[in-house]
Structure 1
């Protein structure tokens, strides 16, 4: 393979090597991470130099140590299941963005209804509808830019007194760069995480509904520049349960929600395992943050095996005091938070792959 290679000559376990590959693939096509007798070799066919690859790898792995995963459950699924590419009538309109046909829409609606009935209604959680945009300041307060510096999609607005200047119709074919002069940065970005809507509006929600447990369904956008596929999307829908409360209340409901997720996926009959996990952080101190998740068992993923590897379709996440401090929740009696999310597009894809959803669902 042409391109640049970098050899990291320190022990790296298989799980971390795969996380590194996925993180690098956000930005570079064709990345491979090969495990060696000692260390790993990273290859990128086009783009960065060996020095640049080395800087990224060392940053991602700085202070790395192996932390074993915890498997909560592993299910083989209903007897006689086989996995194949699903009937997928989506039409790609941009990288990671699809126009949904009626069959896919029906299947998505069915999965959304299952989540709503099993979690929003069963838990007595008010069901909110998240917006596509969110204030940029919310992401700053949450520390999203520090943890995931490359995933935010910016939103721009047409400049003030737009029609006082040159109109779009007057732009010539040889001056496309002039279009940029009509746009200025806005105070909003596209929403990368639905639970931020709840934290940012916690006081009003608490006042209206007198609870610290909410369900929310909405669109999510993440700029993973070169890593999009049928299941890794630039635009998708997320269903979440979000809990705010005392440390004891949140710890209790974290276990309760994890148990409900475990039962839910077992009843769906899809092959899966529930395992401790970590995010592919690439911001400040990525190794420290990633290992803290694994050691504290503060993140569990539901992973479904497909022909090309496991697909994470859901996760349960404990945040501790981070968002209570970032969003000033302590005055509402909330010292901690947790959330549990289901990627509706991914779960639909997984269930269709095993023939567990019909087009008439």
Structure 2
């Protein structure tokens, strides 16, 4: 098992608030991981799309109801000069180190909870003549009861490959995507198992989405060591197509995504292959072989 000391020795800079900085060998490995995932995305000819760190809260209405315990809001002080002066002349921080806020401006933005949400918002209102595939990466924010270095973090890097199309196109994409991940994992000697999963809904026993996922699994996680989810394959049916007015063949588009948690892959690779970079597998070569199959 990777200890904090071992990980620090190869480039982890850990903040107990649940945030990681990387340098040295671990930073280089993170770059190789992301390039390998991009290479897998080339199987579908995915263009790269980059987005801001926040999303409009109005675009995440359903998410806010489903996952209020995980959300991080982008907040700012009310810009009125009197309010700013009250804040600047006050303690600024209280004894616990928390910001002693005065009035805040209306909160209209949410820090990215999942990279794929940007894709649906950006493509809202589009009529797709064929299935569309996109890859994107973002820093995601999810509040958790506890944090562990590289395994469970408040902020983390997420690379996603997204499909927007018909139900058949989305289902076919997920089957191909899982097969590509399996082959990639085999080539780098990283044992993974796909397991049905449910999202961590707020009050799950009362949430229709949780009940649907238990009856008809639409989320499968690629797990390492029996419990650590390195990625997930998700079928959203026409939820986002309907919500954002994206159509395919005259009907709301079905969407699906393959998501990779970069830091968790770092943890698994070091756990499996050791802390010496010379023992780490060639991720780019393996991804190339996986795509070619």
Q: Offset of 1:356 from its aligned partner?
A: 6.3
Map residues 192-211 of structure 1 onto 2, 5 A cutoff.
192-203=113-124
Q: Offset of 1:340 from its aligned partner?
A: 0.9
**Superimposed CA distance per residue, residues 14-41 of structure 1 (whole angstroms, 9 cap, x where no aligned partner):** xxxxxxxxxxxxxxxxxxxxxxxxxxxx
Residue 241 of structure 2, aligned match among 313, 324, 327: 324
Structure 2 counterpart of 1:97:
19
Are residues 1:298 and 2:215 paired? no
Q: Residues 350 and 278 of structure 1: is their aligned pair in 2 closer, same or farther, counting only changes over 3 Å?
A: same
Structure 2 counterpart of 1:253:
173
Structure 2 counterpart of 1:27:
none
Q: Offset of 1:355 from its aligned partner?
A: 1.7
Structure 1 counterpart of 2:270:
352
Q: Residues 357 and 315 of structure 1: is their aligned pair in 2 closer, same or farther, counting only changes over 3 Å?
A: farther
Q: Offset of 1:277 from its aligned partner?
A: 1.8
Are residues 1:112 and 2:34 paired? yes
CA contact (8 A) 1:84 1:354 kept: no
Structure 2 counterpart of 1:340:
258
Query: Considering only CA atoms, is the larger Rg found in Structure 1 or Structure 2?
Result: 1
Structure 2 counterpart of 1:314:
231
Unaligned runs of 5+ residues in structure 1 are: 1-82
Structure 1 counterpart of 2:164:
244
CA contact (8 A) 1:149 1:283 kept: no
Structure 2 counterpart of 1:264:
184
Q: Offset of 1:331 from its aligned partner?
A: 6.9
Q: Offset of 1:193 from its aligned partner?
A: 0.8
Task: State the secondary structure of the residue aligned to 1:354.
Answer: helix
Q: Offset of 1:259 from its aligned partner?
A: 1.8
Q: Offset of 1:174 from its aligned partner?
A: 9.0
CA contact (8 A) 1:158 1:184 kept: yes
Unaligned runs of 5+ residues in structure 2 are: 281-293
Q: Offset of 1:91 from its aligned partner?
A: 2.3
**In structure 1, how many angstroms separate the alpha carbons of the residues matched to 2:29 and 2:257?**
25
**In structure 2, how many angstroms separate the alpha carbons of the residues matched to 1:172 and 1:87?**
37
**In structure 2, how many angstroms separate the alpha carbons of the residues matched to 1:174 and 1:264?**
48
Structure 1 counterpart of 2:81:
162
CA contact (8 A) 2:55 2:112 kept: yes
Residue 129 of structure 1, aligned match among 27, 44, 50: 50
Q: Offset of 1:179 from its aligned partner?
A: 3.8
Task: State the secondary structure of the residue aligned to 2:113.
Answer: coil
Task: State the secondary structure of the residue aligned to 2:101.
Answer: helix
**Superimposed CA distance per residue, residues 283-306 of structure 1 (whole angstroms, 9 cap, x where no aligned partner):** 46557533432442311111101x
Q: Offset of 1:130 from its aligned partner?
A: 3.3
Structure 2 counterpart of 1:282:
202
Q: Offset of 1:242 from its aligned partner?
A: 0.9
Structure 1 counterpart of 2:59:
138
CA contact (8 A) 2:77 2:102 kept: no
Residue 149 of structure 1, aligned match among 36, 59, 68: 68
Q: Offset of 1:213 from its aligned partner?
A: 0.9
CA contact (8 A) 2:131 2:165 kept: no
Q: Offset of 1:275 from its aligned partner?
A: 1.7
RMSD: 3.0
**In structure 1, how many angstroms separate the alpha carbons of the residues matched to 2:183 and 2:200?**
27
Are residues 1:183 and 2:104 paired? yes
Task: State the secondary structure of the residue aligned to 1:353.
Answer: helix
Q: Residues 203 and 137 of structure 1: is their aligned pair in 2 closer, same or farther, counting only changes over 3 Å?
A: closer
Q: Residues 174 and 135 of structure 1: is their aligned pair in 2 closer, same or farther, counting only changes over 3 Å?
A: closer
CA contact (8 A) 1:107 1:357 kept: no
Decide which moves more: 346-355 or 126-135: 126-135
Task: State the secondary structure of the residue aligned to 2:46.
Answer: coil
